[in-house]
Structures are given as C-alpha cells and as structure tokens.
C-alpha cells in the first residue's frame, strides 16, 4: 500500500511532533491515529502543497486533543536524556557544549512556557522546521510564526533570568 510507505517516510518526525506537543501522551498511538485521519482527509490535500507539514499539522492536532483531554497536567513536560544509550547517535559537537546544568535550566524554562509559546519553539528549533513549514504545522500565518516566536523567546529569557536571580 503506497500510503503506508508514504507516511512511514515521515513517521519519525511525526512521533517526535506528537511527543513534543503532548509529552506524556502516547505519541505512537497519536501518530497512528493521525495517519488514519490524514488518509481520510487526503481528498482535501492540495497536491502542489508540501506533504510533510500538512501531515504534521494533523499529528499536532491529534496530540493537542490528547493533551487537552488529559485530566492531570502533572508531569506534562519534556525531559532530557541524561544517560544516552550506546546505540544512540552521539550528540553533535554543538550540543555537547551545552552543559548539563544549562540544559536543565533551559528545559525547565521551556516547560514553563504557555502551550503556544512552547509549540512554536518546538517546531522551529526542536523539529527544525522552516518558518513556512512551522506555519502550516501550527495552522497559523507565517507572520504569526515570526511574532509568536519572538514573543516566546522573550518569555523564555524572562524565565531564565528569573531562575538566575533565584540561584
């Protein structure tokens, strides 16, 4: 089935997207559900449009729905992998210089952001989507991606500064 092969090409980024949007949801299950929904919505997909962000938008919405339906928000946070397994790819030199303490400060600040701020940071910097792809994935205009990102970075800096003041 061609569709299975098609979506498998985006499976890794889809699962990561689901996980970023709902860290304590079942990312794999959300991805599967999104793939089924995307298939049902294929008629509405414009062939000249990029497929990846269109698919990721459905994944993101599915994950958001699961996040909203979660009765408790405790533990709804991204985590860092402190002990990387041997089979994991070694972090790039740039990420290696990000010291452990700084990582956890940064992550705490990201986790403390409002959902829309965290989402725009996640799609642009964690998933490395372009501004155009981020706009489609988040379902907002490109200009809004820009302004939301700038606002999110501002709030992130405020949180980091507040953390520093406490230490």
Interface residues toward another protein, by CB under 8 A:
1, 3-5, 7-8, 11-12, 14-16, 19-20, 27-29, 31-33, 35-36, 39-40, 43, 78-81, 91-92, 94-95, 97-99, 101-103, 106-107, 110, 121, 125-128, 153, 156-157, 160-161, 164
d(CA 88, CA 111): 24
Residue 84 is classified by DSSP as -
Least distance to another protein, CB of residue 166, Å: 13
Nearer to another protein, 64 or 126 (CB): 126
Contact 156, 108 (CB under 8 A): no
Shortest distance (Å) from residue 136 CB to another protein: 20
Structure tokens at 64: 């958001």
Considering the complex, state which of residue 15 and residue 135 has its C-beta at the smaller distance from another protein: 15
Q: Give the shortest CB-152-to-another protein separation in angstroms.
A: 10
Q: Considering only CA atoms, which of 67, 55, 74, 52 is closest in space to residue 19?
A: 67
Minimum distance, C-beta of residue 19 to another protein, in the bound complex (Å)? 6
Closest distance between another protein and the C-beta of residue 46, in Å? 18
CA angle 117–79–94, rounded 5-degree value: 85
Q: Which is nearer to another protein, 29 or 115 (CB)?
A: 29
DSSP H or E run through 162:
helix 142-166
Comparing CB distances to another protein, the nearer of 8 and 114 is 8
- For another protein, the closer CB: 111 or 144: 111
The values of phi and psi at residue 124, to 5°, are -80, -45
Q: How long, in residues, is the chain?
A: 167
Pairwise CA distance, residues 66 & 110, whole Å? 20
């Amino acid at each position: 089935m061609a569709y299975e092969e098609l979506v498998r090409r985006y499976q890794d980024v889809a699962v990561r997207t689901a996980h970023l949007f709902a860290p304590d949801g079942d990312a794999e299950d959300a991805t599967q559900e999104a793939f089924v929904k995307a298939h049902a919505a294929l008629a509405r997909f414009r062939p000249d449009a990029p497929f990846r962000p269109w698919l990721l938008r459905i994944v993101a919405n599915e994950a958001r729905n699961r996040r909203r339906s979660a009765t408790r928000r405790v533990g709804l946070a991204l985590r860092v992998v402190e002990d990387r397994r041997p089979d994991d790819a070694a972090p790039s030199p740039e990420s290696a210089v990000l010291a452990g303490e700084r990582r956890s400060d940064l992550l705490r600040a990201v986790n403390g952001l409002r959902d829309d701020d965290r989402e725009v940071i996640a799609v642009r910097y964690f998933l490395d989507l372009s501004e155009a792809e981020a706009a489609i994935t988040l379902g907002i205009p490109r200009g809004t991606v820009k302004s939301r990102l700038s606002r999110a970075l501002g709030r992130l800096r405020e949180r980091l500064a507040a953390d520093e003041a406490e230490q």
